[in-house]
Amino acid sequence: MSYTPRYDKGDWIADCDVCGRKYKASQLIKRWDGLMCCEDDWEIRQPQDFVRGVADTQIAPWLRPEPQNQFIYFCDIYNNNGYAGVCVSGCAITGRVGPIAPQPAD
């Protein structure tokens, strides 16, 4: 149902913005996105464009602070450190840092 060559007072020839066929301007309809289109190319706006999301708060109802790291230091034959506050008291050997290398037998 495109353009028919006849005179209609106050009407003019216009192109469909979608298919490009010639129509009388009175036959074109304005679509939701602003395009002037024929009846065959007219479509409603997608209903999903109007859907609004629901806020989803994913926080716990109550919180407590994260605990401090607790390091347990111990002494064994490989870990005798001379740093204050790093080793168990009575185990640290002054002047020695790091693992103890095994001593060769005489």
Across 1-106, where does the E strand assignment appear? Answer: 13-15, 22-24, 29-30, 36-37
pTM confidence score: 0.47
pLDDT digits (tens, 9 = 90+) for 23-67: 999 999 999 999 999 999 999 999 999 999 898 888 888 888 888
CA atoms of 82 and 100, how far apart (whole Å):
12
Task: Note whether 38 and 30 are within 8 A (CB).
Answer: no
CA atoms of 1 and 42, how far apart (whole Å):
14
pLDDT of residue 75: 62
pLDDT digits (tens, 9 = 90+) for 59-101: 888 888 888 887 665 666 566 555 555 555 556 555 555 555 5
| Tokens read off for 47 | 């209903």
What type of residue sits at position 84?
Answer: A
